[in-house]
Amino acid sequence: MSSWFPKSVKDFVNHVSRHNVLSLNKIDQIRRLDALPETQLEEMKQQAAKKLINYAAEHSGFYKKLYKDYDLQAPFKDFYYKLPEIRKADIRANQDGIATTSTKFLKKAYTSGTSGTPLMVYRSSSVILNEYAYVWYYRMSHGIKKGERIVSLRGDLDMHQMHYFNKSENILYLSRYLLSQANIAKYAALIRDFKPKAIFAYPSSVYSLAHLLEKNNYDIKVPLIFTSSETLFGYQREKIESFFSGKMFDWYGNVERTIAIGQCDFGNYHEMPLYAVNDYTDTGIITTPLINKAYPLIKYFVDDKIAKLNETCGCGKQHIIKAIEGRMSDALVLADGTHIGVAGLDQIFRDVDNILYAQIIQDQHDHIKINLVQTPEYSDHNRDHLMKNLRLRLPMSVRVTFNKISEEEIIKTKSGKFKLIISDLPK
C-alpha cells in the first residue's frame, strides 16, 4: 500500500492539473480556430508572431541584444524574414537569457539527445497546458475521448517493470523494452483483458507488437493507433493497421514546442492552427512558436526536412505536408524480430556528462557498437552511467562495445543528416 499510494496520488494530481476547465476551454478554442479559412489563420499567425517578437525584444536579454538593429514596428513581412535564425548552439549559450521571465518559475525539459547531446529548454505552465490541449484536440478529432481505455507503449517504463495502470487517466502503460518473443503472451493477455480503444506508441514499438502478436497467432483488435516521435514508415502502417484492424494517425512535434503537425484521415499532415509560423526550406524548418511566451524560440531551426505538396487535401485543407523526411533512422533489430527505434534509445544519453556526440551501430542481432565523441573529462564513471542507462532499455543478451572516435568519424547520410542508429546487419 505504501508504494502504491504516493504513485496514485501523483497520478491524480497530474490528471487534475491537465483535465480542467482551462484545458477544456483551450481545446474548444483550437476547435474554432481549425474551422477558420486558412487565409484568416495566416493573418492571425502574423499578428501573433509580431506581438511575440516585440514582447521578447522588450523582456528577454537575449532578444533585446539580437534585435536592437531591426525595426520591429514595420509590417511583419518587411522585418520577419530579415531576422536571424537561432540554433541549438544559441540556446546552449543563452539558456537563461532567452527567457522573458525568471527561470525560477519555469520547468526544465530536455530534448531526446539523438546526437548524444541533449538540449535543455524551459517550459511555463502555460505552454504545458497549450501543448496538452493541442495534442488532445488532435486525438479527439480522430475519435478518442478522454477517459476511454488507452494502452501506452512508449518510454515510460524500463526493463524493470512490464506494466502499470494509471487509474486517474485510464491508461495501461506497457514497457517498450520488455516487449519480446518471451513476453508476448503476457502482453497479449494484458491488452485483451484491458480492451483499449486506442494505443499511443512509437511507430517501431507498435510495429514490434503487431509483428509478435501476428507471429504467435493472436487476434487483437484496436480501433485507433496514435504514433509520434519517430518516422512512421509505409510498411509499418500497413502491418499495424492490418493486424489491429485499426486506423493510424501520426503526430510530428518536438520537445522545444516549436512545431506541431498532425495526420488527417487522408494520410497527409497539416499544421495545428495558430501553433507556430513555419517556413519549410531545403535544409530544414524555420519555426516560431506562438504558444511559448515565457521561453520564445523565434526563427528556431529544426533539422528535419518536410515534403510539401501545393494542392488541396481530400480533407479540404490546403498546404499538404506529405511526409517528414528528416526523422529517417534505422532501428535495432533483436534476434526474435523485435525492433527498437530511435525514440526508444535516445534517452540513454540524456543525463550522461562529457559526451559531445554518440552513434549506435548494430553489426549483429546481439551486438552493438556505440561510437562516442568525448570531452577530455570523460571517465569510467560516465561509461558506467551510460551502460546502466542501456541496461534499462536493452536485454542482457545484447553485447555492447564502446569506441572513442573523432567528430569527423561520425557517420552522416548523403544529405549530411545525422542518424543516431546505423544498421550494419548482413542483408
Quick check: 88 and 119 in contact, CB under 8 A? yes
The pLDDT tens digits for 203-248 are: 888 988 998 999 899 999 999 999 998 878 777 898 999 999 999 9
DSSP for 93-116 reads HTTTTT-SS-GGGSEEEE---TTS
Task: Report how far apart, in Å, the C-alpha atoms of 264 and of each of 115, 139, 200 are.
Answer: 30, 11, 16
Strands laid side by side in the 421-423 sheet = 399-404, 367-374, 355-364, 421-423
pLDDT at 356: 78
371 CA to centre of own chain:
24
pLDDT at 140: 97
The pLDDT tens digits for 123-159 are: 999 999 999 999 999 999 999 999 999 999 987 888 8
72 CA to centre of own chain:
32
pLDDT at 135: 97
The pLDDT tens digits for 260-303 are: 999 999 999 999 999 999 999 888 899 999 999 999 999 999 98
Q: The C-alpha cell of 233 is what?
A: 514508415
Rg of the Cα atoms in the chain: 22
Helix crossing, 203-215 with 234-244: angle to 10°? Answer: 50
The pLDDT tens digits for 333-376 are: 888 888 887 766 767 887 888 887 788 999 999 999 999 989 89
Instruction: For residue 334, count CB atoms less than 10 angstroms from its CB and return exposed for 0-12, middle for 13-18, buried for 19 or more.
Output: buried
> Does residue 4 register a pLDDT over 60?
no
Quick check: 171 and 14 in contact, CB under 8 A? no
Domain ranges of the chain: 1-328, 332-423
Quote the CA–CA distance of 340 and 268 in Å, as a whole number: 25
In single-letter form, the type of residue at position 147 comes to G
316 CA to centre of own chain:
27
User: CB-side exposure of 362: number of CA atoms within 13 Å?
Assistant: 25
> For residue 55, what are the contacts with CB-CB under 8 A and spacing of at least 6?
100, 293, 296
Q: Right CATH number for 1-328 from 3.30.1330.10, 3.40.50.2300, 3.40.50.12780, 3.40.50.300?
A: 3.40.50.12780
Q: Work out the percent of the chain whose per-residue pLDDT is above 70.
A: 91
pLDDT at 384: 95
Quick check: 277 and 283 in contact, CB under 8 A? no
CATH architecture for the domain at 332-423: 2-Layer Sandwich (3.30)
Quick check: 292 and 280 in contact, CB under 8 A? no
Quick check: 94 and 122 in contact, CB under 8 A? no
Q: What is the mean pLDDT of residues 385-390?
A: 93
Quote the CA–CA distance of 166 and 183 in Å, as a whole number: 21
State the residue for C-alpha cell 572513442: 404
The pLDDT tens digits for 266-276 are: 999 999 999 99
The pLDDT tens digits for 6-45 are: 666 676 667 666 777 888 999 999 999 999 999 999 999 9
Other Cβ atoms within 10 Å of 209 Cβ, number: 30
Q: β-strand 421-423 against 355-364: which pairing, if any?
A: parallel
pLDDT at 415: 47
- State the alpha helices, DSSP H only, in 19-74: 21-34, 38-59, 61-66
Q: The C-alpha cell of 176 is what?
A: 517498450
Q: β-strand 247-253 against 224-228: which pairing, if any?
A: parallel
Quote the CA–CA distance of 48 and 23 in Å, as a whole number: 20
Closest CA to 53 of 240, 299, 227: 299
